[in-house]
Amino acid sequence: MTITQESGGQGAITEYNRRMNNFNRYETISKILYWLVKNQYEHPSLKQLSDQFGISKFHLQKTFQDFAGVSPKQFLKHLSKKEAIVRLRRGQTVLDTAIGLGLSGPGRLHDLLVTTAAVTPGQLRKPGQMIQLEYGYGNSPFGDALIAWTNRGVSFLGFCNQQGRAQTLSGLKEQWPSVRLSNNPDGASEYLSKIFENPAAEPVNVWLRGSPFQLKVWEALLQIPASTHCTYGQIAKHLGKPQASRSVGTAIGRNPISWLIPCHRVITSMGTLGGYRWGIETKQVMIGVESSRCAGNLKTQFAV
């Protein structure tokens, strides 16, 4: 019994240390990523990065490359419009096949493990059975994140870096009106760890609320290959409604589970980013990370 208690105590300490290490790593990485996006046109050197964050060049380079699969200098190349056009052209040649087959290679492993279920109208109307969402904030590679879930799965994932917590929480409440919210920071930390530390370990169930058209759009987003772009028009065409690009854009803007449902892979036909619910810089950070990793062809615990 004594050994069991000591083992359990040590295990708790190890788990705490692991979470703190990830928290600190994510905090550092997200600051570097957003700083690079904001200063991309200045082409900052590794020394400038080192001076900016007070981290040795060696440690900064290693930490960044372990996460992104490339050096900070190489990461900057993936932010350019030229690279966006390349990814868009690649999407034009492979998207129809990928959607038709329902898969797009190992790069989309975490997408393929996302399973969706929709809230039915009856579940929203049952008297005395108000839906309860647990929610909480936590750190992620893309900054402060807000996640909400039920026992059916994740129902919301948003990022606070550019909007702040209050506005992100307002987005959750707008998407899920008339529900009971229960704050659960420990549960949020566990969910975010599952999503960002080892997404291929087991399926991530999601429970969505949306119109039939919105659900079709969100499911279509899961078919877009990693490090590939498609346009709003391509999504509309795939859904058999080629004139509905604007409606597709509106549905994409209402995507309740960012990153897991990869709306960041949709850009305009001119190669510009278009809009993004959680800020253009966040969208560019996501695109840069995903593109860098695919280019580096590395398998990391944050594989995408």
Residue appearing with tokens 């930490």? 63
User: Residues of 42-78 as b/e, b for ≥16 C-beta within 10 angstroms?
Assistant: eebeeeebbeeeebeeeebbeebbebbbbbbeebbbb
Please name every residue paired with 137 in a beta bridge, in sequence order, or none if there are none: 146
* Cα angle 103, 107, 110; round to 5: 80
Q: Which of 160, 230, 263, 294 is catalytic?
A: 263
CA distance linking residue 300 with residue 266, whole number of Å: 24
CA distance linking residue 272 with residue 287, whole number of Å: 12
Indicate if 263 belongs to the active site. yes
Residues 6 or more apart in contact with residue 98 via CB below 8 angstroms = 104, 223, 224, 225
Task: State the catalytic residues.
Answer: 263
